[in-house]
A and B are shown apart, each in its own frame.
Chain A
Amino acid sequence: MKEETIINFTHHQTAHCENGVVSNLMKHNGFSVSEPMVFGIGSGLLFCYIPFLKVNHAPVITYRAMPGHIFKKFAKRTGIKMKREKFSNPKEAQSKLDENLERNNPVGLQVGVYNLLYFPDEYRFHFNAHNMVVYGKQDGRYLISDPVMEEVTSLSEKELEKVRFAKGAFAPKGHMYYPISFPEKLELEKAIVSGIKDTCKTMLAPIPIVGVKGIKTIANLIRKWPKKKGIKTANHYLGQVVRMQEEIGTGGGGFRYIYAAFLQESGKLIGNEKLIELAKEMTEIGDLWRDFAVEASRIYKNRSRNDAGQSENYNQVANQLDHIADLEKVFFKKLKKAI
């Protein structure tokens, strides 16, 4: 490969990596699509409790669709064709990447976070569904646009290979992807409607671990944790719930604010006043998720505090979640009717 390839690619920081890569690649190809638009059309919003799986020795809750799904649904609903490749051989993965860069084609990569050296140490966990764009190579280093970072960065060949071939759940296996064909004109209206319908359906699904019902299930579990698991473990679990909700990438309030931004933008785009009103409501619900995080943090602030009051505090934050679940149930029923 040539000594130096730098594609003229503009980095825009986003809240979440998957939306960010899609939005930035779309912009690179001349389609101005915002992060909330990608998230909403790709039906990114979710609440799901994943039983039997533990991460960092605590239960897992996700506030967004499974890795890759936002991308897939967005592409399908807007008529974009994607090329995806996975590799068993790291050398082949690298040469395919180099080929694309030489063709002036920036690509998305799925990577593991644990060996991403530019992340603060405290954030480096074994999480394999992070996404970034590679837009060039200079002095043997790959030029990286990581959507959650403010600025672009770079990784050596060895460093990039390591994160592309991280192991464990959702192992990326060198996963590389990029758009190969676009519709003549981007028809967003239909895509917005399908995106919203899909989200309403999931959030109102009659499954105890998903959507509104999933929130209720977690509220009930939280009530039981102090007695069943002991305060110390309960505090660890509760801390993880807040981390999943607020950690880098959610844009705040477990993705509720990004979703509100999507509803507002869509309402204006397709001239639907109801969506603009509902965006306000979703913002208020997002604020309640933030309040829940504040109350929860008062509980786990003292990691090993153990007294009768703690159990009562657990009941209170669980009540907050029940209230949110009730509001979201009403909200998604209204949203379904609004389109």
Chain B
Amino acid sequence: MKKEEVPQDKSNLESANFRELCYAIDENGEYTTANSTGWEPKTVALNNAIDEINDRIEDAKKRVLEGKTSPIEYHMELHKMDVGILASYVGLWQWRVKRHFKPSVFKKLKMNTLQKYAEVFEISVDELKTIK
């Protein structure tokens, strides 16, 4: 990549007002660095990944409303987590977290277990029980 080819496309970096560093060659073939505001092929990939997450959140929300899963799964998706990550944050085995997705099990959860989840998601226990 030549220095003048370092892409300056619009991207999500703009919101934080920073440009990333790329390596490229100058007119003499010497390596140098140049800042890039973004590159379309990866902006599209990132936006797709975010859409994918939003789809997962919507899907979890729908299933909570249908009584098929507990709000824990919804909040997990909202925080871009999967079961493994959530389990390590609450300090429980994965199978236990998965069990807590069952609405019938969720209803009977003890206050301090609910508290653990609420703390991880940085919300109150009441907020944990509801979805927006």
Q: Which single member of B23, B40, B48 contacts A261 (CB below 8 Å)?
A: B23
Contact B89 A167 (CB under 8 A): yes
Contacts of A258 in B (CB 8 A): 23
Interface mask (A22-57 → B, CB under 8 Å = 1, otherwise 0): 000000000000001000000000000000001011
Tell me, in angstroms, the Cα distance from A296 to B40 when the chains sit together.
12
Contacts of A54 in B (CB 8 A): 82
Contact A239 B18 (CB under 8 A): no
A274 close to B (CB within 8 Å): no
Contact A126 B81 (CB under 8 A): yes
* Minimum C-beta distance from A59 to chain B (A): 13
Contacts of B89 in A (CB 8 A): 167-168
Q: Which segment, of A63-71, A89-97, A117-125, faces chain B?
A: A117-125
Contact B41 A252 (CB under 8 A): no
Which range holds the interface residue count of chain A?
35 or more
Contact flag A297-B49 (CB < 8 Å), given A57-B82, A168-B88, A290-B1: no
Contact B24 A150 (CB under 8 A): no
A99 close to B (CB within 8 Å): no
A242 close to B (CB within 8 Å): yes
Contact B80 A247 (CB under 8 A): no
Contact A36 B23 (CB under 8 A): yes
Q: Which segment, of A206-214, A279-287, A318-326, faces chain B?
A: A279-287
* Minimum C-beta distance from B87 to chain A (A): 9
Contact B23 A120 (CB under 8 A): no
* Minimum C-beta distance from B124 to chain A (A): 18
Q: How many residues of B contact A (CB 8 A)?
A: 42
Contacts of A148 in B (CB 8 A): 20-21
Q: Which single member of A57, A123, A257, A297 contacts B23 (CB below 8 Å)?
A: A257
Contacts of B48 in A (CB 8 A): 235-236, 239, 300, 303
B44 close to A (CB within 8 Å): yes
Q: Which segment, of B29-37, B65-73, B102-110, faces chain A?
A: B29-37
Contact B41 A246 (CB under 8 A): yes
Contact B30 A264 (CB under 8 A): yes
Residues A251-302 near B (CB distance < 8 A): 251-253, 257-258, 260-261, 264-265, 279-280, 283, 286-287, 290, 293-294, 296-297, 300-301
Residues B41-84 near A (CB distance < 8 A): 41-42, 44-53, 56, 79-82, 84
Contacts of B19 in A (CB 8 A): 150
What is the chain A residue whose CB lies nearest that of B30? Answer: A264
Contacts of A339 in B (CB 8 A): none
B85 close to A (CB within 8 Å): yes
Interface mask (A236-253 → B, CB under 8 Å = 1, otherwise 0): 100110110011110111
What is the chain B residue whose CB lies nearest that of A286? Answer: B1
A114 close to B (CB within 8 Å): yes
Closest 7 CB pairs of A and B: A297-B41, A261-B31, A239-B45, A257-B23, A167-B88, A168-B85, A120-B16
Q: List 30 A-B contacts (CB under 8 A).
A: A15-B20, A114-B79, A122-B15, A122-B46, A124-B80, A148-B21, A150-B35, A167-B89, A168-B84, A168-B89, A169-B84, A235-B48, A242-B41, A242-B42, A243-B42, A243-B46, A246-B41, A246-B42, A247-B42, A248-B20, A252-B23, A260-B23, A261-B31, A279-B31, A280-B29, A283-B1, A283-B25, A293-B42, A300-B48, A303-B51
Known contacts A56-B52, A257-B31, then 11 further A-B pairs from the complex at CB < 8 Å, ordered by chain A residue: A13-B35, A54-B82, A120-B12, A121-B15, A257-B24, A258-B23, A260-B23, A265-B31, A280-B29, A300-B48, A303-B51
